[in-house]
Every structure is written in C-alpha cells, then in structure tokens.
Amino acid sequence: MTARLWRVVLSGDERSFLEEVVNSEQGAPRRIRRARILLDLDEGRDEGRLTQREVAERSGVSVTTVVRVAKDYAQRDGARAAINRKVRLKPPVESKVTAEVEARVIALACSQPPEGYGRWSLRLLERRIASTDGIPNLDHSTIGRILKKRHFSLA
C-alpha cells in the first residue's frame, strides 16, 4: 500500500460535478478518467477508502497517474482545475520576429542586391541581416517564412 501524500476531500458541489462528468461520458477520455480517479480517491466517500493501487486498477492507469491527479487536485484550484488541461499563458520563448522586424526584412528584400549579385537569395539576406543593427539574427528559413507569409517572391 502506497502512502498518500496528497489528500482528496471533495465538497458536495465538486462531487456532483465530477459525477456529472463521468455519467455524461461526453468530452475527452482523459478528463473522464481523471474525474473517476478523483471520485475514487475521495476520503469523504461512503463506500470506504480505496488504496491508490486499487484506484489505479479500477481506472486502468498506473499508480503514478493516480498520484499526479491527486497532486493536481491539491495544488490547483480543486476538482475543476484538476481534470482540465493546464492553459499555457505564453509561449516558452518569445518570438524574435515582430511586425517591425518583418517590415525591415521585407524592405531589405525590396532593395537593390549587393554589387555582383543579380537578386537577393535567402542566405544573402541572412548575411546582410546579421550585419544590420536593430534586427536580430535570423536563420534563412525564418526569413523565407516571413517572405512567404507576406506573399513576397525573391525571383
């Protein structure tokens, strides 16, 4: 029997909400499974306490999943947050390409190519951007995406 590090004590509203999710059987299977796990882990239930191993076997998941669901319930804002996906607030890395950068790349691509070249290539633009102040270093594939997004052709 594994020790319970995260307690799950459901209120009446949470219990009725989770039972509604399980009984409706509509929505993401992961959400329904997590709701079942929380209902089985509830320490205030009438049928008696189940171990985490028993809950895992009933739900068809590993004990680790049961522990993670209990941890989500304890650390987040109750049952509703524990069964739903976490919403990422922003991308992990901010994009270097802003509207101003796009405008400067397109302006550079519209200008005359350097002496000895008939037209701009993506790698030539990449080298020019690397030597230009105010524009972050961009890969030639990123430059190509910028130009494609704006329907700009180097030909």
Domain limits, the chain: 12-83, 99-149
User: What confidence tens digit (pLDDT) does each residue in 44-73 have?
Assistant: 776 777 888 988 998 899 999 999 888 888
Contacts of 143 (CB under 8 A, 6+ apart): 105, 122, 125, 126, 129
pTM higher than 0.75: no
Nearest to 2 by CA among 47, 46, 65: 65
Give the percent of the chain with pLDDT over 70.
97
- 102: confidence class by pLDDT, cuts 50, 70, 90: very high
